[in-house]
Amino acid sequence: MIACEQRIDGVLLPVKAHAGARKNGTTGEHSGQLKISVTQAPERGKANRAIASVLCESLGLRSQQVELIAGETSQVKQFLIREVSLADLQARLERILSDVQ
């Protein structure tokens, strides 16, 4: 189970990033974090933008709803997901994780 956290301004989503992968996509769960792989190299924010794009596509979100708030240069990142309830986000995560496995 992904360890999401409800906040006043949205839901905090922990992400384990893998930059420089063969393809973009959600690849599962790791220690309560959503694993996302992107082909972009981790330089000048390219991988972070690609991760945000994968989140939008896989979770059915608009780009304005997804914001990186921690872990800009780390593999472990925190994204703030706006305009979605904790229950709704968890349901979306369960759906995409069931497709991965």
Task: Report whether pLDDT(101) > 80.
Answer: no
* Token couple for 57: 């596509």
d(CA 40, CA 82): 25
pLDDT in tens, 5-34: 999 999 999 999 999 999 999 999 989 999
pTM of the complete model: 0.93
Tell which residue, 101, 31, 6, has the closest CA to residue 15. 31
pLDDT in tens, 35-87: 999 999 888 889 999 999 999 999 999 999 999 999 999 999 999 999 999 99
Q: Domains of the chain (ranges plus CATH)?
A: 5-100 (3.30.1200.10)
Q: Which residues of 80-91 are buried (b: 16+ CB within 10 A; e: fewer)?
A: bbeebeeeebee
